[in-house]
Structure 1
Amino acid sequence: MPFTSSQIRAAAWVAIALLAFLVLRALGPVLTPFIVAAVLAYALTPLVDRLAASGRGRMPRALAALVVELLFLFALACIFLLVVPVVAKELPLIRQQLPTVLDRLDAAVAPWLNQFGFRVSLDLASMKERLLGYLNANWSTAFPSLWTSLKLGGSVALTVLGNVLLVPVALFYLLLDWKPFVARVLELVPPRARPGVDSFTAECDQVLGQYLRGQLLVMATMAVYYSTGLALFGLDLALPIGVFTGLAMFVPYLGFGFGLLLATFAGLLQFAPGEAFLMIAVVYGSGQVVEGFFITPRLVGERIGLHPLAVIFALLAFAQVLGFVGVLVALPASAVLLVAIRRVRHGYLASRLYQS
């Protein structure tokens, strides 16, 4: 039975997708800085376009790309200098406050459990002794161990440093030549298939652009919100935890969950358990309501359109297969797959096979 032209084209596209997947998996560590740069370039290209078009188009695009990239790197440096010193200053306090936290938990939890008939007896003295002994021993050997690890894994450290330095370079060239680069890729599409590919890429661009650019605004807004809310409750680590929670929302659910755990732990170190849980409930509970019903619908719209379980599955599946690169490409790739699935479903519903 001879194959039709549509079946041959479908098989060719499947083969191309499979080949791209195998290349991405094999060259994941090498492609990581380029993928990071590509994601950033996609999000920052509209700013470069607007800046280059300002002043009646007199600003060279190279200068506009350089200005946008420097502003972006300056924002990252400000966040780093804002968060790291505060955390480094507060970390030694954890060792001092842990015994108090254990006493507070025992005083708050044990009477509450007794009301329901649960008799809990905690050997707090032994727990504190073992925990403090572990922390003191590891604290004194942390920096020597870190230095030894850096010496033993010097090649890994150099690789990470090389990738960090390569991202800005790749980002500049992608910002400079983004449109010509996309145009050269589209030139490889056969003329007969060009209308369908253009429609497909336009829909993908709408979905991805709405998500990436809107999500950046959501992250910045929620970082301010969580920092302000935690600061109003008097949390010492309000600024770094709030900024981290907002920025970590780029990874849906996982980032928010990790920020929630950090805030809970910091609150238990500083406040009584009841006050800490009240702070978490008010700040993070109201934050989810504000973000889910007001900020995200206005800034991002319907986002990618994926169900929350589908987002979690995509993150775990891509991370399992491709590692860190998979986390970076999970949501963009899921958005493209979603557009493709919608088109396949629409074609199937309009086909004779379904109507018969």
Structure 2
Amino acid sequence: MILDSGRWFWLATGSIAVALLYVLAPILTPFLAAAFLAYLGDPLVDRLESWKLSRTLSVVVVFVTIFLLLLLFFLFLVPVLETQTKLFINKVPNYLDWVVNVLGPYLNQKFGVDTSVLEIEQIKNVIATHWKETGGFIRNAIQTISKSGFVVLGWVANLALIPIITFYLLRDWDRMVAYIDDLLPRAIEPLMAKLARESDEVLGAFLRGQLLVMLALAVIYSIGLSLVGLEFALLIGLIAGVVSFVPYLGLIVGVAIAGIAILFQTQDVFDLFWVFAVFGVAQMIEGTILTPLLVGERIGLHPVTVIFAVLAGGQLFGFFGVLLALPVAAVLAVIMRHIHDTYKQSDIYSIDNPEPLGEIDLDDGSNEVKEQA
């Protein structure tokens, strides 16, 4: 087998690739971000091509759509989120006072809980001195990158490179895939092509399917909570939608935060019913429409795998590692599934193994006991 005879070649190639990724991580970030956007947009380009549009025109349409959406996000959604975050942080001391003055006597009388151990005043002082500064996302980002002229130039260069690289990757995506396939040794090409297709299905099921479900849920939560009259509907809806890639976590986190917020805002227990109704309707829409339509029966990355991959990538390579985490996790998941299937079909696992070690040990032991008897 080529893989057996050339194992040192593949080991050296993999080691060099990992070393280069580690060393070049700072400059590879815009390339990986552009590849991420191109990967998301390539199916749309192929769909437009099937409608008799040229590849270049299809790329232009998808490219403009992607970056218009990103521009709208940063121009409108980020300032609104920043405003809601500031308002929420400013109201946290009032929420703490409500806990002490309203819930405190009830908890003390019914459960013997002494709210003085929470040191509410110290918590309020910490919020007043530190947390208010965290609300200015845009201001803090500008202050951070403006400390050095080289940092500013680096950020500007990266932001300018991402759309340029994305456009060229979208235009040449199919040709690059065909070129890489042509470079593979013919003996392993069928296996590598199979693993690549399965990796694409796993990663696509999460990125193109689950991310759309998360976005749709965030919109539904935000609209529903705003209709209920919750002040921080957009912020809470976005948080619940983002964490919904873990089954039921978005529901639990959203209901908890929205329920507490509505109690603080209206101090009416019956308003909790409307919060439950919003999340109940959203879960019904997700189960009957969103997941079957956008994800279907495809098997994506397990939520725990996603969490571990993102944290591990960030720890090892920083922001570049966060971007690299999901593709690597998808490939590793497919490889581990292939290894599992190969093991289940091997003689080591098979019941037809001519020398089952467990039976040999048991027989030898029983024979010795009989001879001693």
Q: Normalized against structure 1, the TM-score is what?
A: 0.79
Unmatched tracts of structure 2, length 5 or more: 354-373
Higher relative contact order (CA 8 A, sep 6+): 1
Deviations 1:192-245 (A, max 9, x none): 222222222222222222332212421331122111221122123323543465
**Structure 2 CA distance for aligned equivalents of residues 128 and 317 of structure 1:** 31
> Between the two proteins, what is the percent identity of the paired residues?
37
Question: What's 2:41 paired with?
Answer: 44
**Structure 2 CA distance for aligned equivalents of residues 250 and 25 of structure 1:** 31
Classify the secondary structure of the residue corresponding to 1:152. coil
The reply to whether residue 325 of structure 1 matches residue 311 of structure 2 is no
Q: CA deviation at 1:46?
A: 1.4
**Structure 1 CA distance for aligned equivalents of residues 330 and 320 of structure 2:** 16
Q: CA deviation at 1:189?
A: 0.6
Work out whether residues 210 and 303 of structure 1, in 8 Å CA contact, stay in contact via their aligned partners in 2: yes
Within 5 A, what are the aligned runs for 1:95-174? 97-114=91-108, 115-121=110-116, 126-127=121-122, 130=125, 134=129, 149-174=144-169
**Structure 2 CA distance for aligned equivalents of residues 27 and 120 of structure 1:** 52
Unmatched tracts of structure 1, length 5 or more: none
Work out whether residues 202 and 301 of structure 2, in 8 Å CA contact, stay in contact via their aligned partners in 1: no
Work out whether residues 241 and 259 of structure 1, in 8 Å CA contact, stay in contact via their aligned partners in 2: no
In the alignment, residue 8 of structure 1 is paired with which amino acid? Answer: S
Within 5 A, what are the aligned runs for 1:145-224? 149-224=144-219
Question: What's 1:69 paired with?
Answer: 63
- 189-198 vs 175-184, which deviates more? 189-198
**Structure 2 CA distance for aligned equivalents of residues 323 and 273 of structure 1:** 45
**Structure 1 CA distance for aligned equivalents of residues 140 and 306 of structure 2:** 38
- 305-314 vs 153-162, which deviates more? 305-314
Question: What's 1:226 paired with?
Answer: 221
Output the aligned Cα RMSD: 3.9
The reply to whether residue 60 of structure 1 matches residue 54 of structure 2 is yes
CA pair 151-62 structure 1, distance change in 2 beyond 3 A: same
Q: CA deviation at 1:72?
A: 1.2
**Structure 2 CA distance for aligned equivalents of residues 189 and 95 of structure 1:** 55
Q: CA deviation at 1:26?
A: 1.6
Work out whether residues 47 and 68 of structure 1, in 8 Å CA contact, stay in contact via their aligned partners in 2: yes
Q: Normalized against structure 2, the TM-score is what?
A: 0.76
**Structure 1 CA distance for aligned equivalents of residues 252 and 165 of structure 2:** 30
- Rg larger for: 2
